[in-house]
Amino acid sequence: MFTRSTPIIEALRSHSQACEIFAKYGMGCIGCMGSMTETIETGANMHDIDVEALLAELNDLLAGANKT
């Protein structure tokens, strides 16, 4: 499960479609140096994004991957 303190890079490495969710919220995490050191909460705050909504989508993605 992803949390506020999960590093962005960990989320990106955990599921190939995570980058699409970050992009949907305006976070170009693939090319950002911050993805290596920032948490999901820090990145969301920097982009004025609702961290709970972002986490919900990322965790839904992860849950769907675990069902298959």
CATH number of 8-67: 1.10.3910.10
Question: What is the share, in percent, of the chain residues with pLDDT greater than 70?
Answer: 91
Q: How many CB atoms lie within 10 A of CB 1?
A: 9
Show Cβ contacts of residue 46 under 8 Å, excluding neighbours closer than 6 positions. Answer: 34, 38
Please report which helix (H) or strand (E) contains residue 63, including its range.
helix 51-67
Encode pLDDT of 41-68 as tens digits.
999 999 999 999 999 999 999 888 766 5
| Mean pLDDT, residues 7-27 | 92
